[in-house]
Amino acid sequence: MMHKLLLRIKKLLPKRLAKVAVIAMILSLTACSGPYSTLDPAGPHAQSVAYIWWGMFWFGTFVTIFMTLLWWHAMRRNGTDTPDNEVQGKQNSWVIWGGIALPVGAITLLLAFGIPAGHRMLPFDGDDVVHIEVTSHQWFWQVYYPDLDITLIDEIHIPVDTPINFHIRSDDVIHSFWVPRLGGKVDAIPGSTNVLRLQASETGRFEGQCAEYCGVGHAHMDFAIHAHSADDFASWQETVVQGDRP
Amino acid sequence: MTLHQQFEKVWGNLPGWGQLAAVNHTSIGRRFMLTGAVFFIIGGVLAMLIRTQLALPAQDIINPDVYGQVFTMHGTVMMFLFAIPILEGMAIYMIPKLIGTRDLVFPRISALGYYCYLFGGIIIMSSLVLGMAPDSGWFMYTPLSSAEFAPGPGSDFWLLGITFVEISAMAAGVEITVSILRTRAPGMTLSKMPIMAWYILAMALMIVFGFPPLILASIMLELERAAGMPFFEVAAGGDPILWQHLFWLFGHPEVYIIFLPAAGIISTLIPVFAGRPLVGYRWIVLAIILTGFISFGLWVHHMFTVGIPQLAQAFFSIASMLVAVPTAIQIFAWIATLWHGRVTYNLPMLWVFGFLIIFVCGGLTGVMLALVPFNWQVHDTHFVVAHMHYVLVGGMFFPLIAGLYYWLPQMSGRMPSESIGKWAFWLTFIGFNATFLLMHLTGLLGMPRRVYSYSGGLGWDWLNLLSSVGGFVMAAGVGMIILDVALHFKFGRKAPFNPWKADTLEWATGTPPTAYNFASIPRVETRHPLREHPNIANTMAEGQHGLADISHGRREIYGTDAITGKLKEVIHLPTNSWWPMISAAFLAGVCISLLVRVYPVAIMFAVLAAITLLRWSWENGGHKAMAPLTEEEWQRDEPPLNSRTCDGPGLWGMNVTLLADAALYLSLIFGWFYLWTVSPNWVVPEDSAISLPGLLLSGVLLTVGTLWYRQTVRRLCQGNDVGLGKNLAGCAALAIAHLLALLWFTVSAELSFTENSHDAVLLLMLMFQIFHSVLVAVTTSLQSLRVRYGYVSHRLPYEPVVLKPLWLYTTAIFWVSYASFLLLPMVWGGGV
């Protein structure tokens, strides 16, 4: 029975796969870029999540199609010829292969990629790490550079290719600090400080926004990170320290 | 008079307005489902408002303030007023029919639950009409929902209204658990139950353990808002993350509370339409139990971005993925059943097929979201909105509609139309996928949840437009379902007996069902009674099995052993009663007066509600409205009535209720230790404000009372009721002395509960204890009074037995509180 099914799937798949692949390529070329797109990564953390996503996407698509076809085939075929007691004897193989082995295998595979990726994102301290403090308010972000003793509102300047530790707090309600093209988000919680490690691998402007609902101004609580080359960042620092900028 | 007419006279509802006094599970179940459907339409309209607003960028049809109310109410209505109640309604309607009995075991509680749901729902909806609806999101994260940032009454509507509605969930949870365990048809062992009963049993138990954390959290937040007790306020030593823990400690099991009964529908339909008994029944039972357990261990996956320690994140991540295993077991058992059967194609199966595709997608994105690094990216985006709707609409709504079409002939006696039904399915299916499949991408492109508007040119425009179009297509599909169901009552052709050739007893009730379900109750020793005994419906209707005599005029069902199904007693049930509606109305009065903060009126209503509930409890056991002692009952060939025994369903009801109570208490202890170890500004005062020796005295009085009470009940069950009334009065006197001491040392304690979170938690603990002590004192006093009326004696020992666990529990929590709230801090020292 099983090999018949596999044959049928083989017949169906190439056509479908080709179609899906073409659509996906078009999508990834045109639709996946955008100022807030996690699929248009500009830093190592966002990059590894994007890779994981595409891996999961293809695997998930395959599983969905497989399950749908299996179900459809199970509905179409006539299996009444097997007597009841024999069928009940077959339950173990169905459940053990499909119900236990399949999900456990998939989860193991996922964790094998996911755990190292997550580990690399942790904000370990290091000599070259830049430290920036961010305090969220309804509805703006206050950015403080302890080394330079300057404060900015809704804009952040960072050197490219340098790990940055953002120390994030909240002055009122819970907000969430998120720059999708650079990496994951972390909540700003009153009473505690969360540290988020981000790094930009190219220069430019990256959009950030609040991700946790924080009241009527939530939709407009955005900010920008400007990643500069080392030289540009040094000159920016000089300018602001001299007081040209508030 | 035919047998049917005699039964109808005893079991029927009162005519006219008397319908409001109905307690019958068929009536109450129908009302739950109908009310749930109305709330579904309201929630759907709110969803359409959201999709209208988001269809194009930079629209301002709805301003951000109203938008906050709309999405909060959409989530709240769909979760609390539609999904859970409609499934409770289904369980209330279906369970007695499936397990071969005539009603649920506490019918008046069903009615109370329904009225709390109805009144609470109306109170919550009124906030929308008044334009002051809650607007902090359906999970009400504080401090956004606190008095400082949400000064209006919106949050109060949510906290008080939802807690009021939850009375109905708790009532259903307790009642359904006891009914399934204690009132199955004789001979029906646990392993011979229809698979649906297992699912509903798991749902009911999960309600019992899952809802109390939310109820506690709601009480705490409302106390913070109204009385200034700072549980979640950082400056005073609280912590807002405690709210999130308690909320999701409820919130995640809740997803499975919704999913399990829906999966039960799938497990019921597939074998019927495959013409093959369910393959892997035992595996599925195992999967249900596993799901129940695992679901309480993964709440933190809603909180991966709040800064939880890494190790905990890894634990909850893996636990969240593992819940895929029991789900996959079920899916493959279903496939195996289809594989070895010959499928009949029809409307219910179409919905089952739609369920599979959508639910598999939702499950897969669920596993993805459990991966922490990916979660950090897409948490709080439209990806999560898409995932959640795939799981909830796929996992709950599609099976629900499959079940609706399947059981429609059972409920109405008529068949639905195939053609409108097919249109409805395809519109819903296509519309749903158009709305939510694309929404995954919207989220990946960075669109956060809960934004009332967005700028153009971010790559979100076309996705949102298509999602909105899809949303309206789906709405059209839902509209056609409603139309189809409405039309079928008039135009549907008459359903033949057992139209789908099902194998379970609900099809033997007659279609539409009678008020008493079955005129006689057979022994059931198979999972497939209708298949193996094709004539059983007739012999049951003719009264050839047990409990066929109705001349005594009591509503009676069988009580059986929880595991073996061995016949133990005859349970006499209360008849139509106005008390549930009156009590619910007074409770609604409490809710409303707390909302408008007129506390004296609230106290007045609370006292009225308590009096009504006690008056209701007076009509029990040997009371003339229930089952006074007669000669007839000893002469007939049936087991004794339950109120003449010491192990009746009431004891089970008390025990299950106390499990729920213990879940609430454990949540309180969790909160105490959480704040103690995590909260940054937690301060333990230098000296204990509470007199330790004073409380010790109070506890000793309670303990002596408990020992005395135990002794009294033991003697009573041995048939010795000499001095029963005096003994009970003595116990009650000790309880009152204990209570007075407790009150005195609480009032004189000078707790600074508005400045200090530590003292606020202490006060809450004391209030919790006082509540239970009052309950013990009042109910025991009433028992001693009932001895004088002759309602309690050695022939009627039932009620004191029911109260015994309450005594033990009250004493247990007293000493646990004494140790962990008062002694431990002294040993462990002050601040952390």
Instruction: Write the DSSP string, B225-285.
Output: HHH---SS-GGGT--HHHHHHHHHHHHHHHHHHHHHHHHHHHHHHHHHHHTSPPTTHHHHH
Residues of chain A neighbouring B340 (CB-CB closer than 8 A) = 79-80, 82, 87, 90
Residue A16 confidence (pLDDT) above 80: no
Q: Where does the pLDDT of residue A127 fall: very low under 50, low under 70, confident under 90, or very high at 90 and above?
A: confident
Neighbours of B744 (CB within 10 A): 13
Test the B interface: residue of A33, A122, A187 with most B CBs within 10 Å: A187
Distance CA B291, CA B289 (A): 5
User: In Å, what is the CA distance from A82 to each residue of A2, B274, B680?
Assistant: 16, 13, 66
Mean pLDDT for chain B overall: 95
| From B280, B317, B681, residue closest to A95, measured CB to CB | B280
Distance CA B537, CA B817 (A): 55
Provide the pLDDT for residue A1.
Answer: 44
Distance CA A214, CA A170 (A): 11
Q: Tell me whether residues B149 and A173 touch, CB distance under 8 A.
A: yes
B142: tokens are: 């504080």
User: In Å, what is the CA distance from A77 to each residue of A5, A90, B328, B341, B343?
Assistant: 10, 17, 21, 8, 8
Q: Tell me whether residues A219 and B451 touch, CB distance under 8 A.
A: yes
Beta bridge partners of B414: B494
B641: tokens are: 């009535």
Measured distance between the N- and C-terminal CA atoms of chain A, rounded to whole angstroms: 74
| From B64, B136, B356, residue closest to A219, measured CB to CB | B64
B20: tokens are: 């409001």
Same domain as A43, residue A20: yes
Residues of chain A neighbouring B240 (CB-CB closer than 8 A) = 174, 189-191
Answer whether residue A214 is part of any domain. Answer: yes
Q: Where does the pLDDT of residue A79 fall: very low under 50, low under 70, confident under 90, or very high at 90 and above?
A: confident
Same domain as A115, residue A141: no
Provide the pLDDT for residue A45.
Answer: 94
Q: What phi and psi, each to the nearest 5 degrees, are found at residue A196?
A: -120, 130
pLDDT in tens, B637-691: 899 999 999 999 999 999 999 999 999 999 999 999 999 999 989 988 877 789 9
Q: Tell me whether residues B380 and A212 touch, CB distance under 8 A.
A: yes
- A182, A184, A190, A194 alpha-carbon torsion, rounded to 10°: -80
Residue B165 confidence (pLDDT) above 90: yes
Q: Tell me whether residues B275 and A180 touch, CB distance under 8 A.
A: no
pTM of the model: 0.95
Provide the pLDDT for residue A28.
Answer: 55
Residue A3 confidence (pLDDT) above 70: no
Test the A interface: residue of B145, B243, B371 with most A CBs within 10 Å: B371
Residue B318 confidence (pLDDT) above 60: yes
Residue A4 confidence (pLDDT) above 60: no
Q: What is the CATH number of the domain that holds A187?
A: 2.60.40.420
Beta bridge partners of B381: B448
Same domain as A158, residue A109: no
Provide the pLDDT for residue A242.
Answer: 82
Residue A14 confidence (pLDDT) above 80: no
Provide the pLDDT for residue B832.
Answer: 41
| From B322, B336, B445, residue closest to A36, measured CB to CB | B445
Residues of chain A neighbouring B314 (CB-CB closer than 8 A) = 115
Contacts of B43 (CB under 8 A, 6+ apart): B73, B74, B77, B78, B81, B82
Answer whether residue A82 is part of any domain. Answer: no
B214: tokens are: 């939310």
Same domain as A191, residue A135: yes
Same domain as A213, residue A151: yes
Q: Which residues of chain B form CATH 1.20.120.80? A: 683-828
Q: Tell me whether residues B241 and A189 touch, CB distance under 8 A.
A: yes
Q: Where does the pLDDT of residue B92 fall: very low under 50, low under 70, confident under 90, or very high at 90 and above?
A: very high
Residue type, B551: S
Answer whether residue A207 is part of any domain. Answer: yes
pLDDT in tens, B197-223: 999 999 999 999 999 999 999 999 999
Provide the pLDDT for residue A24.
Answer: 59
Instruction: Count A/B contacts: CB-CB distance under 8 Å.
Output: 268
The burial class, CB within 10 Å (0-12 / 13-18 / 19+), for B399 is buried
Same domain as A168, residue A72: no
Provide the pLDDT for residue A2.
Answer: 46
Same domain as A66, residue A48: yes
Q: What phi and psi, each to the nearest 5 degrees, are found at residue B225?
A: -70, -45
Same domain as A46, residue A64: yes
Q: What phi and psi, each to the nearest 5 degrees, are found at residue B570?
A: -100, 125
User: What is the domain range of residue A201?
Assistant: 130-241
Residues of chain A neighbouring B333 (CB-CB closer than 8 A) = 91, 94-95, 99
Phi-psi region of B249 (alpha: psi -120 to 50; beta: other; left: phi over 0): alpha
Residues of chain B neighbouring A209 (CB-CB closer than 8 A) = 446, 448
What percentage of chain A carries pLDDT values higher than 70? 86
The burial class, CB within 10 Å (0-12 / 13-18 / 19+), for A205 is exposed
Which of B331, B307, B321, B476 minimizes the C-alpha distance to B399? B331
E strand or H helix at A159, and its extent?
A: strand A155-159
| From B306, B339, B378, residue closest to A187, measured CB to CB | B306
Tally of domains within chain A: 2
More confident residue, B543 or A83: B543
- For A1, the closest chain B residue by CA position comes to B339
Domain C-terminal end among A99, A120, A141:
A120
Residue B831 confidence (pLDDT) above 50: no
Question: How many residues are given for chain A?
Answer: 246
Q: Are B617 and B783 in contact (CB under 8 A)?
A: no
Least confident of A29-33, B389-393, B489-493, B636-640: A29-33
Answer whether residue A246 is part of any domain. Answer: no
pLDDT in tens, B389-413: 999 999 999 999 999 999 999 999 9
- For A40, the closest chain B residue by CA position comes to B445
Test the B interface: residue of A39, A76, A209, A212 with most B CBs within 10 Å: A212
User: In Å, what is the CA distance from B467 to each residue of B362, B382, B462?
Assistant: 17, 11, 8
B140: tokens are: 């009400």
Mean pLDDT for chain A overall: 88
Test the A interface: residue of B444, B465, B678 with most A CBs within 10 Å: B444
Residues of chain B neighbouring A118 (CB-CB closer than 8 A) = 371-373
Same domain as A236, residue A167: yes
Q: Tell me whether residues A37 and B451 touch, CB distance under 8 A.
A: no
- For B345, the closest chain A residue by CA position comes to A75
Provide the pLDDT for residue A246.
Answer: 47
Least confident of B161-165, B310-314, B693-697, B739-743: B310-314
Beta bridge partners of A135: A142, A169
Q: Does domain B683-828 have CATH number 3.50.50.60?
A: no
Same domain as A114, residue A43: yes
| From A185, A194, A218, residue closest to B379, measured CB to CB | A185
